[in-house]
Structure 1
């Protein structure tokens, strides 16, 4: 019995000692604490408060070709809807410019003969939806129909028992930029962003950290190699790999998923390579700053792929999230590239957006390369 008791006592002592040792080691490794404690909190807050499939304050532009009181009364229901934010123009050309620029989500056209046809009992309204975001487009169709149903019912009540006077308003719906209503057209350009982010940030996030851990980077400090040359040399092979992946993504989008490419192919390629440089530079900066492969991989996950998937507008309409999340999303380079690539694929070349977003991506690339260069100065800690 005494031997058995001694064995159990020794087991307990060793277990307690090892547990204390592992606990101290865990507390010293901050990257483990970030993954184990901070990441769940971030995910809870993001999914709970920051992400929503609801559509609020959806922008609908009303083209009043018929400005009669009857026509205004019919579309007045849009102003009473908490889900719609109507604006008013008198020209279809102006409304078309707004939808191409991404300044509105739908156009409700009131034709010039609306009042006359309504009096005859058969009137039509034209609803044009921006199909670049297929989820928002399908939701808006129901919102607009619901908002117009109230004044239409009021007109029917006013007609009383006169069947010939009861109004019949038909909404003729059409989706621009995604006529087939295919969700694939909406998702595949976004997948291009995720692929560029994944191969960019993760491939380079381990490069410098691996050399720091192996001690091979110190040997470069005694050579004439300059930090900028080292940065560019490390980026060059992965630009080639990223370019190959980009070609595969474009071929798959065109021939496997049949997504239209309405924008210029050279513009799509140049903007994609520009974003690839941003992703590669971000991964290299993380690698140079952390000097630890595990910490670098986790940091790359938290700062690149996850934000690109959840906060760039890949699935969720960013206008429906809290203002703080909207501000954070605008800081992310993936957000600017996501909107740009979807516009290029589905809507075509809209140069104000192209020049603005490409300038932002170029600025990110220059800043990140500069920060990485500073992190690789010839100085040992």
Structure 2
């Protein structure tokens, strides 16, 4: 690969971005509009969550209550014996909350003390409220079934999002949706336009190799995507009061990994479509809709049918949203971030290989 040719291609593409008003609109105006829309106009409601039950008491009453949690259709219960085992599951997102039934459950029952403690993942406010509300319902039914009149008292805490604000969950996810739009749609439109005008064929006839041409197309939009991500993050922090508990370095790293498959998908679409209208439709259908519906942004992935859950593994936005929720609301959980980054880079590599093959065939 010739660095001088690559630099020339990047410079050419960068000048084209500056001269193209539509690229500026998509990269900077669209994120602002969508962030305000998602922050103020979208609300969520869910039906099922994974719930841990930490049973520290061996009494018959405590075991009966734990069995009631397992018997309700509203929870998928994961029994946990020790409290220290449940924290990593909550941080990694495998559990959305857990119920602690203490060792002195019977004594608390007759003294009127709080009977159970409920810990939830506050990064998803609707899930947190769901857990708190339905654990209360299970406890009410259990007391009624056993003819007990003890006062119902819960000690509920919401981790990562103590105020249980939906906005703090939606805005990081909205950034992922916006980056999908910028990466896939913008790249697909710009490159498809070059196919329409015949300039792509002229470029392919130069001494530049296909990987150099593709990288020359990708790198300027990669930089543009990072700038848009940083701008959206500043809006999230200063306008919508979303905390950034992780580091800017982690945010840049996961954003860079996500832009690889997003931009690669745009290159694949443009190589297949070679028409702006078809490219736009394909980008919306294969990029925006899966990111919106199958990434965990609107709907819990765990509540989806098994075939759909498997399908979400090839949606890059799934991993990006998971990483953004971690960086914004939890911190730099590298065990989770590295797993997501490798998944995004793997998908990006596949996209780039497909784009190279399809571009060669288009030239032939």
8 A Cα contact 2:314 2:347, kept in partner: no
Distance in 2 (alpha carbons) for counterparts of 1:121 and 1:173: 16
- Rate the CA distance shift 1:92–1:200 in 2: closer, same or farther, 3 A: same
Distance in 2 (alpha carbons) for counterparts of 1:60 and 1:208: 47
Q: CA deviation at 1:75?
A: 3.1
How many pairs does the alignment contain? Answer: 321
Q: Write out per-residue CA displacement over residues 129-181 of structure 1, whole angstroms, 9 at most, x where no aligned residue.
A: 111222222122222111121221133x2x6xxxxxx4224111111111011
Distance in 2 (alpha carbons) for counterparts of 1:337 and 1:247: 15
Flag the structure with larger Rg: 1
SS in 2 for 1:79: helix
Aligned counterpart in structure 1 of residue 72 of structure 2, from 78, 81, 98:
81
The residue aligned with 1:144 is: 135
302-311 or 314-323, larger mean C-alpha shift: 314-323
The residue aligned with 1:366 is: 349
8 A Cα contact 1:319 1:326, kept in partner: yes
Q: CA deviation at 1:307?
A: 1.2
Structure 1 runs of 4+ off > 6 angstroms? none
Distance in 1 (alpha carbons) for counterparts of 2:209 and 2:101: 65
Q: Which structure 1 residue ranges, 5 or more long, are not aligned?
A: 1-51, 160-165
- Rate the CA distance shift 1:98–1:232 in 2: closer, same or farther, 3 A: same
Q: CA deviation at 1:226?
A: 0.5
Aligned counterpart in structure 2 of residue 315 of structure 1, from 274, 285, 298:
298
The residue aligned with 1:154 is: 145
Q: Write out per-residue CA displacement over residues 315-334 of structure 1, whole angstroms, 9 at most, x where no aligned residue.
A: 11122222222222222111
> Is 1:278 aligned to residue 261 of structure 2?
yes
The residue aligned with 1:55 is: 47
Q: CA deviation at 1:378?
A: 7.7
8 A Cα contact 2:46 2:126, kept in partner: no
Q: Write out per-residue CA displacement over residues 92-113 of structure 1, whole angstroms, 9 at most, x where no aligned residue.
A: 2111121112121111112232
236-245 or 67-76, larger mean C-alpha shift: 67-76
Q: CA deviation at 1:54?
A: 4.0
The residue aligned with 1:224 is: 207
TM-score, normalized by length of structure 2? 0.83
The residue aligned with 2:84 is: 93
Q: Which structure 2 residue ranges, 5 or more long, are not aligned?
A: 1-43
SS in 1 for 2:117: strand
Please provide the CA RMSD for this pair: 1.9
8 A Cα contact 2:271 2:355, kept in partner: yes
Distance in 1 (alpha carbons) for counterparts of 2:340 and 2:236: 22
- Rate the CA distance shift 1:62–1:379 in 2: closer, same or farther, 3 A: closer
> Is 1:298 aligned to residue 281 of structure 2?
yes
